[in-house]
Structures are given as structure tokens and as C-alpha cells.
Amino acid sequence: MNILMALSQREVTGAEVYATTVGNELTQRGHQVFYISDTLTKPHQGSFFKLRFNKRSIPRRFYHVGYLIYLIKKHNIQLVHAHSRASSWSCHIACKLTGTPMVTTVHGRQPVHASRKKFHAMGNKALPVCKAIEEQLMQDLGVAQEQLVVSRNGIETERFQIVPPPQNARPVITIIGRLTGPKGELCYRLLDTCLDLTKYDVRVVSGSKVEPRFDKFTDKVTFTGYTQDVPKMLSEADLVIGAGRVAIESLMCGRPTLAIGEASCIGIVTSDNVQQAMANNFGDIGPTDLDINFDAIANEVELGLQQKSCEIAVTDMVKASYDLSSVVDHIEQIYQDVYIDKLRREMPVIMYHRFIQDDTEKGVHSTYMHIKMFEKHLKLLKRMGFESLTFEDLAKDNVIRRLDPGKRHIMITVDDGYADNYHLMLPLLKKYGFKAVVYVVTGESFNRWDVENPENPENKVNLMSAEQVKALAESGVIEIAGHTMTHPKLDSLSRDQQYDEITQNKQQLEELIGKPLTSFAYPFGLCNQDTKEIVRDNGYQFAVATNSGPLHFHQDPYEIRRIGIFPRTDVFGLWRKVRGNYLFRKIKA
């Protein structure tokens, strides 16, 4: 996807670290990430555009919106991700005018005033970084819960490893954070009234300019300035004082950590209070702007210094909760939710069965397509600019690939494995440059499940031979996939019977084609929870149904909806079904 990260800041902030860390991971995953902000100092991959969001006069805001619209159109931006109040306001308007999906990560407690209550200006989803912000947005600003998703900070966990306690002559206490705003006030208070500066080696790490009021501490405190080597700086500390990302990274290094921020003091983080700490971003967010008992800080400092390291259980929990890869997985899910919800369009997954050459081959059931009409279908898809994907493609590159900018993707699936798939379908796929997923039944030589239907028996049609299945797999345009041994209604079978049908089919196909299968199709589109669990436990990464499952492709990889293509689906009918909004209109109707 093409993503625009929008910030408003004049110095290094946690929001910038968050945006660039997440943005770099998204870039590594193949997305194109752009940045727009007053300033941007952290290393980042992607173009940066300077815009003074903090200049908030009415003419300036009109200019901000106009420039954002220009960038959105010029760079085909598919989603805007804002990270501050000033940037989100302008982005919200620009996205409304261009129809662009938008999310806003909320990094801190929001000011409460009438205009903010009426005009949240956070786009389609607000992503508070902790539970306390979510609660404040609902209680104070009236943001609906369905518009909120908690999305934690993402930390490059591999950069932060547990380090042995330092061997310092005097205990080193490292305070990390801005020296401006509420954090600056907090730092000043800690230095002025809470810490014995003659007893400890106190170091203040900040990218902020040291204000004159801190001059009285300069002979007793080391103001180190900003550092790029955060792990080294943390490893030298006997105790780290900070909130948000500071506390998270410190705990990942195993350092005793006093979590104190703009709102509250959690104290030394232990297994007893780590959940509370995570809920309010390690002291940065609370029910009020300031709720700190400064008289207790000295005791907390001594308690922290008595610990050589924080608890392993705390480090493990923090690493699991803030792991960058897992956080970005979650963000990609949110991006897809918002993008599909906003545009009401999804990659079509269409379903064929068998192909005929003349009317004598028609069947009782509507599971056939004349090969001449199928060729017209492929011609239409070609004219519409579609490129086909298989589940093997998505397993290799991630399902979000289907939303690649400037692309129209489609998935062609074909059920049962009829012999005509080899004789009639394969040559046309090669001719028009499309790929398909073919779901193969291996325990039958013909369509016994339909022929022996007592209520509505079908004509006998041969399935592919093993040689033909192998030839499809080696064609370069077909993904062979699982479809059971005998094509039963799985939801009517016992768990053991389902297991045998699914497992034996997979083993036979993998032995035949010489590689693992990626996807499975439920016969008749029917499944239950047992079915889905067996499919997942067999190592399948995707499974398709027919008329069940979410409208969003990515929301349940084991129950993906498909669009049936029937004998009467002419060129116009196919056009209607593949435009992207067919299922949304159909389900709504």
C-alpha cells in the first residue's frame, strides 16, 4: 500500500519514534511509506515532506489541506496515518474531500473542549496506544467504541537484549524524556525535590534544548543530549526513570525501571503492576493530568536500586506485548479493515467448476460453463486490467498484497478437479496470462457425490487422472489445492471422519506434486468449527467457502467468501460480479 504518515512536531517525540519504527517495518514488507511533518529527525525510509502543521491560523489550515490533497493525488496515497491533533485535523478534511481512508494513532491524553467533542477529526479509526487513552476518548470526547482499536507501540525487540548489571562506582540513574511541556515539568521536579544529586550519578537524556531553569543542576547532573544508541545508554544505568517507550525499552533490557510520566507514577515495574503500567502507557496517561505523590519517589528510587535487574517474567511479557512484527501485523489488519470498509470494495474470488464444449455436456446442476463463454470472461478480465493471484502468492507475500497500488487483482478458483480443467481450461489460462487455484478430489474418478444424489442425480463426468493433476501443477499457472477424498458434506461428519477426508487428500496430493499445499476448499461450502480446526492443524494457510465468511478477505483466512460463476453468467454478469462491490451490495440487499 501507499501510506502517508502525518505528524506535527518541532522536536523528537515518542510519536515520531513510533511512526518511523512502524513505517520502516512497513517499508521492509513492501509498502511505500511517505512522511509529512514540521520536522523529522529519526532515520526513516521513504520521502519526507515538510509542512508546518503547528502554524494553525485559518489560512494556514486551508493551505495544509490543499497540500495534503496534492500529495494524496500525486503519490496515489491509499491510506493516511496521522499521529497528532494538529496533523489529524487537516488530514481528516483532506481525506474527506478525496475519499481516502484514514486512521489516527492517539499517543496521549486529549484536551476536552466542545469543538473536539463534536469534531473528533481522527478519520475512520482511532488507535489509542493504551487502554487508558481508549477510556478517555470514550468518556470525555464521546468517541464510539467501535471506532477505537488499541494498538500498542511497536519496539524492535531484537535491538534490546537483557544486559548484566553495570559495575558503577556510584549508582547511575538515567532520566529519559523531553525537557519541554509536562515531561519537562516532571523532570525538573524530580531533579529539584526527589533525587539526592550528590548521592547518585544522574544523567538526563533528551533531544530537547536545555532550558535556563535547568542551569542550576548542570554541575551535579549530566545532560547528555539525544542518543541514537539507546541500548548502550540503558545498559549503563542502574535505574531508568521514564514512561512510554522509554520504560518499555528499559524493561526489555532487563533494567530496573521507575515508570513515571505525565499523569501518574506506577513505581518500580514488577509482575504485580506491569498490567496496570501497560494500561496507562507506563504513567503517561491517567484519569487526570497529574496524579503523582512526589514524596514517595525517593523510596521508589531506593527500591529500584536494590534490584540488579527487573523480573524475567516482566521482560518476557513486555517483549511479547510490544514486539514490532506483531504490532505491525495488527496495524496491517486495521489498514485493511479501514480500506475495505471505506471503499466498500474487495478483491473478487470467483468460482468455476467444469467446462463444456457443446450443449450435450450440460448438467442438471449449474456447475458448468461453456468454454467459449469462459474465453470471453478471460478477455473481459484482461480488458479490465486484472492480474490474477493464487493463495501461494499470498502466502509468500502477505494477503495485503491484493491491495497493491495501481493494481486490480482477482483470484480464479475451480472446484473438484474435472478432466476438462486440463483439456479446456489450462490452454486458455496460458493464452491470456492468468493463473487459477484448482481444488482436487482424490478419492474418486468421477463426480460420484452428484451422480448418486437420490433427489437430483447429475450426469457422470470424469475427474482428472494423477498425471493430469501433476501436469497442471507443473504448468506454472495452476495452484493445486485440497478438496477432500470423496467430496462429502463435512459438517455432517464426525471429527474423525472429517480428519480422514481432509488429511488423506492432502497427503496424496502433496506426494503427487512434490510440495506442500497452501489452500483448501470446503465441499458444498459447508464447514463447522471442527472442520476449520482440522484444516488449520493440517498446515493449510487458507480455506475457501462459498456463501459464508466475512466480506473482508483477510478477516478469516479459514472461511473466505467466493462469488459463484454459473452457466448464465455472461460477460455483463461477470462485469457486475468482479467490480469489487458485488458482495457488499448483495449482502446489503
CA contacts within 13 A on the Cβ side of 288: 4
Q: Is the pLDDT reported for residue 449 higher than 60?
A: yes
Contact 7, 36 (CB under 8 A): yes
**Architecture per CATH, 344-588:** Alpha-Beta Barrel (3.20)
What is the distance between the alpha carbons of residues 244 and 179, in angstroms, rounded to a whole number? 15
Question: Which of the four pLDDT bands, split at 50, 70 and 90, describes residue 311?
Answer: very high
Q: For domain 157-321, which architecture applies? A: 3-Layer(aba) Sandwich (3.40)
155 vs 318: CA distance, rounded Å: 10
pLDDT band at residue 118 under the 50/70/90 scheme: confident
pLDDT at 372 over 90: yes
Query: Could you tell me what percent of the chain has a pLDDT over 70?
Result: 98
Report d(CA 484, CA 428) in Å as an integer: 27
pLDDT at 466 over 70: yes
Pairing outcome for strands 354-356 and 257-260: unpaired
The answer, yes or no, to whether residue 551 has pLDDT greater than 60, is yes
Closest residue by Cα to residue 10 from 61, 51, 71 = 51
- pLDDT for 541 equals 98
Binning pLDDT at 50, 70 and 90, where does residue 14 land? Answer: confident
Give the position of cell 502507557.
281
The DSSP 8-state label assigned to residue 515 in this structure reads S
Q: Residue 123 — pLDDT band, cuts 50, 70, 90?
A: very high
Q: Provide the residue type at 262 as one letter.
A: E
Which residues have a Cβ under 8 Å from the Cβ of 424 and sit 6 or more positions away?
A: 355, 357, 371, 374
- The packing angle between helices 244-252 and 312-322, to 10°, is 120
Query: What is the predicted pLDDT for the residue at 386?
Result: 98
Where, residue-wise, is CATH 3.40.50.2000 in the chain? 2-147, 157-321
Residue 100's closest CA among 81, 119, 127, 128?
81
Distance CA 537, CA 67 (A): 50
CB 148 within 8 A of CB 137: yes
Average pLDDT score, the chain:
94
Give the other-Cβ count within 10 Å of 524's Cβ.
16
For the chain, the 3-state helix, strand and coil shares in percent, each to the nearest 5, are 45, 15, 40
Name the residue with cell 493516511.
80
Q: What's the rounded Cα separation, in Å, for the pair 411 and 386? A: 10
- What pLDDT does 290 receive? 61
* Separation in Å, CA 285 to CA 140, 241, 292, 477: 14, 16, 12, 54
Q: What is the pLDDT of residue 115?
A: 67
φ, ψ for residue 197, nearest 5 deg: -70, -15
Query: Residue 383: its pLDDT value, please?
Result: 98
d(Cα 361, Cα 367) in Å, to the nearest integer?
11
Residue 309 has what pLDDT?
A: 94
Which DSSP symbol is given to 170? S
Does the predicted model carry a pTM greater than 0.85? yes
CA-nearest of 342, 407, 347 to 579 is 347
Helical segments of 181-296, H only: 181-189, 230-235, 244-252, 274-279
Does residue 495 contact residue 530 with C-beta atoms inside 8 Å?
Answer: yes
Q: Rounded distance, CA 193 to CA 216, Å?
A: 13
CB 28 within 8 A of CB 329: no
385-424 pLDDT, tens digit each: 999 999 999 999 899 999 999 999 999 999 999 999 999 9
User: Nearest-5° angle of CA 172, CA 175, CA 179?
Assistant: 145
CA angle 393, 398, 404 (to 5 degrees): 85
Backbone φ and ψ for 192, nearest 5 degrees, come out as -80, -35
Angle at 174 between CA 253 and CA 328, to 5 degrees: 45
Residue with cell 496515518: 81
Does residue 198 contact residue 217 with C-beta atoms inside 8 Å? no
Q: Which three cell numbers stand for residue 458?
A: 447429475
The Cα angle at residue 128 between residues 112 and 282, in degrees rounded to 5: 95
For β-strands 265-268 and 257-260, DSSP reports them as: antiparallel
Q: How far apart are CA 86 and CA 198, in angstroms?
A: 42
Q: What is the mean pLDDT of residues 347-365?
A: 95
Domain covering 2-147: architecture = 3-Layer(aba) Sandwich (3.40)
561-579: b (≥16 Cβ within 10 Å) or e: bbbebeeebeeeebbebbe
In the predicted model, is pLDDT for residue 589 greater than 60?
Answer: no
- Quickly state the pLDDT bin for 199 (edges 50, 70, 90): very high
Distance CA 98, CA 47 (A): 21
Percent of the residues in the chain that have a pLDDT greater than 90, as a whole number: 85
**Tens digit of each residue's pLDDT (9 = 90 or more) over 163-188:** 999 999 999 999 998 898 888 999 99
Using CA atoms, how far residue 339 sits from 80, 239, 443, 525, 553, in Å, is 10, 44, 42, 27, 12
Helix (H, G, I), strand (E, B) or coil at 467: helix
Integer-rounded Cα radius of gyration of the chain: 29
CA distances from 435 to 190, 241, 410, 427 (A): 65, 57, 10, 11
Q: What's the rounded Cα separation, in Å, for the pair 92 and 62?
A: 12
DSSP 192: I
User: How far from the centroid of its chain's Cα atoms is residue 34's Cα?
Assistant: 18
User: Residue 332 corresponds to which amino acid?
Assistant: E
Distances (CA, A) of 327 to 82, 156, 421: 17, 10, 42
